[in-house]
Structure 1
Amino acid sequence: MKIGIVIVAAGRGERAGATEEGPKQYRSIGGRAVIEHTLARFLDWPHAGPITVVIHADDKALFQPIIERLGAKDRIRVVEGGATRQISVLTGLEDLEDQGVTHVMIHDAVRPFFDSSLLDRIAHCLREGENAVLPVMPVADTLKRGAQGFVTETVSRSDLYAAQTPQSFHYSSILTAHRQAASTGRSDFTDDASIAEWAGLAVKLVEGMADNVKLTLKRDIAMADEKLSSALPDVRTGNGYDVHQLGEGDGVTLCGIFIPHDQKLMGHSDADVALHALTDALLATCGAGDIGDHFPPSDPQWKGAASRIFLEHAARLVRDNGGTIMNADVSLIAEAPRVGPHRQAMRENLAAILDITLDRCSVKATTNETIGFVGRREGIAAIATATVVYRKRPL
């Protein structure tokens, strides 16, 4: 099963009021655009296939920076929508036609508060053979029917549900249904499940989420911003430790900087203990194992390799998991050579590798007071700490 995603984001959102930020899907909540939160959640879901975002022709300049911040140019496809949501969805579905998807989830860009458990519930139903799956919440409020400003009757809320998205389908079935609706001139469907019903598809109900609300009014956006702003930041700290033996040589490489010396560090790669320790520290923040898992010393391709390759790989994994590197701190323990004269170059190299500012990179050094293997100049050790902030989650 390959699940494509269609994000509907071509609306103008007039009820949310006009602002310089643009339509409501581009309004900021928790420091990021609404649609950016929505996309980040799908990008984090391991079962998401190709993602097509249907935007308004006037919003290209608003949307492009979001793709760049998410680092997902290779996963997100962009098409222009039409005058109605129904036309926009059909455009998005047709864009996925050459992507080999078997199923599709169609989601409103302005519903950012869903999670992977909802997507997993829907995907389970699709795997069980359902052609259409609709997440819903039971109607909790008492319902009234009125006319001319007065109540005419109380409507039973028994068996009534509020529909949510992502509404999910067997891909070819919903594509055919949408095309049939378009060919007959029908344009009055309020959601994709209603088109599926009209086409004769059985629509399976699945438990939705109370938080999975559609941000419609200006007040909705303000409340969403307040909710995210009060969320606990996902700050993680990772530690790394490495040691390499010293042998006869002409210099050592520390933090990617070669320092002339009468000894060298022994190892399968260039034996840069500082970058090895920092690599482990970064990997620890997203539970990605250690340097040996990714670059085993038994693999001959890493013999003599520059350790910046390992650190760049770890930094990329952190970013792919939604992390922003905030700080990198390395402590070197060695009797010699002196690190002080090279500290600035080391910091600048770390900043360049990690693509962070110099003030977020620290390199320190100390001796072991002639105690132990370090004190006997048999090896050099390094301790590294990395601080990473991952994308905020709602409380």
Structure 2
Amino acid sequence: MAAELSILVVAGGRGSRAGQGLPKQYRKLAGKSVLARTLEAMHAAAPAARLTVVIHPDDQALYAETVSELAASARAALSAPALGGALRQESVRNGLEAIGREGEPEIVLVHDAARPFADPGLVARAIEAARAHGAAVPGAPLNDTVKEVDANGFVVATPDRARLRAVQTPQAFRFSLILAAHRAAAAGGREYTDDAMIAEAAGCAVHVFDGDPQNFKLTTPQDFARAMEQLKAPSLADLPDVRMGQGYDVHAFAAGDKVWLGGVAIPHSHALAGHSDADVLMHAVTDAVLGAIAEGDIGAHFPPSDPQWKGAASEIFLVHACRLVRERGGMIAHIDATVVCEAPKIGPHREAIRASLARIMGIDVGRVAIKATTTEKLGFTGRGEGIAALAIATVRLPEG
């Protein structure tokens, strides 16, 4: 049966600008290959997705070595590799055709092997954008003024940088749309620099959603040096400014057959009502993290009046809050949360919830505590009208 989501990782290039040696996707970063880090990042962000890698025909031994670096769950998500062509465009088409032979998914993400720092929030935004628009790419605003120059190096135009974006991957599409666009591009004999251009050439409107400055592509030796610095996370002992934040949220029951708690779907006689997926526990944890760094609450960052967040996965909110902590050079030291309800029973799902929150937040599961209690039949939770959640986040930041 086809997966709902497939991720195509393009790893067939030679990467000559990165310097001499192995192709850059197989070079080591802190003891692990770039491609292994990229595959692990994609699997962590979308554990149910099938992963297909396009490799150079000469790199099968290097690819096998990379696969051996992966955790068992990531290896299990891999399909057989597809072989690349002379151009990236051909390689992507080969990969899409390979995915289609296994069974067409609804959505496909096309990601560069040399971008190992894509986080779950970026991947979640890509998936939601593809479902909403059919074709979508992450874009980061430009900080520098851009000049258009002629063949002699003289300025001929200064584009308005507010309208410009530096496009990244994963680029996200409805599978049938991008496969048809690639086939049309191949038949027309034209070359394009990315998959969004191929979708545009086929007459598709391409939406640009928020990218991530940390999701840079490894191209030059300087990029590898930057990547090593990015991997050097500070220790808690290096972060003397200890902050605590609290979060609280309530959602009423509504018609449905499951509730979302901490990113885990728990079967129940009802669902929870809310503008997003109503994950009351994740909302409380998110507000606790935001509170610890004095950044307001979820509503300030993701207004419920904005229709784009209707039905959105609450993971997007928590990933955003955690990114704000990292951007300030900080770390999340601990999460302590309590779910208040008569039903469903939380105990059987406690470890799954802890693991889910730890994955989303990028912290060790030993730093996530989940408890549950009832109100002895008192109040709205006691009457079975809804669920409440409380959370405390401990965050450590650099001084100053």
Scaled by the length of structure 1, the TM-score of the pair is: 0.57
Instruction: Give SS of 2:226's match.
Output: helix
Structure-1 separation of matches of 2:157 and 2:143: 14
Question: Residues of 1 paired with 2:363 and 2:67: CA distance?
Answer: 16
Q: 1:39 & 1:324 partners in 2: Cα distance?
A: 20
Q: Relative to 1, partners in 2 of residues 1:165 and 1:232: Cα closer, same or farther, differing over 3 Å?
A: farther
In the TM superposition, 1:139-178 aligns within 5 A as: 139-147=142-150, 150-158=153-161, 159-178=163-182
Structure-2 change in CA distance of 1:6 and 1:183 (3 Å)? same
> In 2, distance between residues paired with 1:6 and 1:199?
20
Would you say the 8 A contact 1:139–1:157 is kept in 2? no
Q: Structure 1 CA distance, aligned partners of 2:125 and 2:364?
A: 30
- What does residue 316 of structure 2 align with? none
Instruction: Output the CA distance in 2 between the equivalents of 1:80 and 1:154.
Output: 41
- Distance apart, 1:161 and its partner CA: 1.1
Match of 1:219 in 2: 222
Question: How many Å separate the matches in 1 of 2:153 and 2:64?
Answer: 49
Q: How does 1:39-54 map to 2 (within 5 A)?
A: 39-46=39-46, 48-54=48-54
Q: Judging changes above 3 Å, is the alpha-carbon distance between structure 1 residues 110 and 148 closer, same or farther for their aligned structure 2 residues?
A: same
For residue 171 of structure 1, report the CA deviation from its aligned partner.
0.3
C-alpha distance in 1 between matches for 2:233 and 2:46: 27
Partner Cα distance (1:7, 1:148) in 2: 35
- Asked if 1:37 is matched to 2:37, the reply is yes
Q: Distance in 2 between matches of 1:87 and 1:152?
A: 35
| SS in structure 2 of the partner of residue 54 of structure 1 | strand
Aligned counterparts of 2:123 and 2:147: Cα–Cα separation in 1:
33
What SS class does the counterpart of residue 52 from structure 1 fall into?
strand
Q: Deviations over 1:167-212 (max 9, x none)?
A: 11010010001011111211x2000000000000110110100111
Compute the displacement of 1:148 (Å). 5.4
Paired position in structure 2 for 1:116: 120
Deviation at 1:127, TM superposition (A): 3.0
Q: Could you tell me which residue of structure 2 aligns to residue 59 of structure 1?
A: 59
- For 1:35 and 1:231, locate their aligned partners in 2 and report how far apart those are by CA, in whole Å: 24
**Separation in 2, partners of 1:50, 1:228:** 26
User: What is the Cα deviation at residue 7 of structure 1?
Assistant: 0.2
- Cα shift at 1:147: 3.7
Deviation at 1:213?
Answer: 0.9
Contact 1:80–1:88 (Cα < 8 Å) also in 2 = yes
What's the TM-score, normalizing by structure 2? 0.56
Identity within the alignment, %: 41
Letter in 2 for 1:135: P
Tell me if structure 1 keeps the 8 A contact 2:111–2:170: yes
Deviates more, 1:41-50 or 1:161-170: 41-50
Letter matched to residue 51 of structure 1: L
Q: Classify the secondary structure of the residue corresponding to 2:137.
A: strand
SS in 2 for 1:143: coil
Cα separation, 1, equivalents of 2:20 and 2:225:
14
- Alignment-mate amino acid for residue 202 of structure 2: A
**Counterpart code for 2:143:** A
Corresponding position of 1:83: 86
TM-aligned CA deviation for residue 44 of structure 1: 0.9
Note closer, same or farther for the CA distance 1:101–1:148 as it changes in structure 2 (3 Å cut): closer
Deviations 1:318-376 (A, max 9, x none): 9xx79999xxxxxxxxxxxxxxxxxxxxxxxxxxxxxxxxxxxxxxxxxxxxxxxxxxx
Counterpart residue identity of residue 95, structure 1: A
> What code does the residue aligned with 2:106 have?
T
RMSD: 3.5
CA contact (8 A) 1:52 1:76 kept: yes
Runs of at least 5 residues in structure 2 that lack an aligned partner in the other structure: 237-336, 338-346, 366-400
Aligned to 2:14: 12
- Which deviates the most, 164-173 or 43-52? 43-52
In structure 2, the partner of 1:92 is 95
Which residue does 2:394 correspond to in 1? none
Q: CA deviation at 1:154?
A: 4.4
**Aligned position for 2:207:** 204
- In 1: Cα distance, 2:227 partner to 2:149 partner: 31
Give the Cα separation in 2 of the matches to 1:230 and 1:73.
Answer: 26
Take 1:10 and 1:70, find their aligned partners in 2: how far apart are those partners? 22
Secondary structure, aligned partner of 1:215: coil
Is residue 184 from structure 1 mapped to residue 188 from structure 2 by the alignment? yes
Flag structure 1 segments of 5+ consecutive residues without an equivalent. Answer: 234-286, 295-313, 326-395
Q: Conserved in 2, the CA contact under 8 Å of 1:4 and 1:105?
A: yes
Q: CA deviation at 1:48?
A: 4.4
Larger mean CA deviation between 9-18 and 132-141 belongs to: 132-141
C-alpha contact (below 8 Å) 1:28/1:225 kept by paired residues: no
Residue 253 of structure 2 corresponds to which residue in structure 1?
none
Alpha-carbon displacement from aligned partner over 1:277-296 (angstroms, at most 9, x marks no partner) = xxxxxxxxxx9xxxx849xx
1:134 and 2:137 matched: yes
Verify the 8 A CA contact 1:79 1:92 in the aligned structure 2. Answer: yes
> What is the rounded CA distance, in whole Å, between the counterparts of 1:324 and 1:160 in structure 2?
38
| Alpha-carbon distance in 2 for matches of 1:150, 1:67 | 46
CA contact under 8 A between 1:42 and 1:48: conserved in structure 2?
no
Alpha carbons 2:107, 2:173 under 8 Å: kept: yes
Structure-2 separation of matches of 1:232 and 1:39: 25
Match of 1:24 in 2: 24
Deviation string 1:126-167 (CA, Å, 9 cap, x unpaired) is: 333x11011101222111233455432341234111111111
**How far apart, in 1, do the equivalents of 2:46 and 2:16 lie?**
34
1:38 counterpart letter in structure 2:
T
* One-letter amino acid matched to 1:118: L
Cα distance in 2 between the residues matched to 1:52 and 1:174: 16
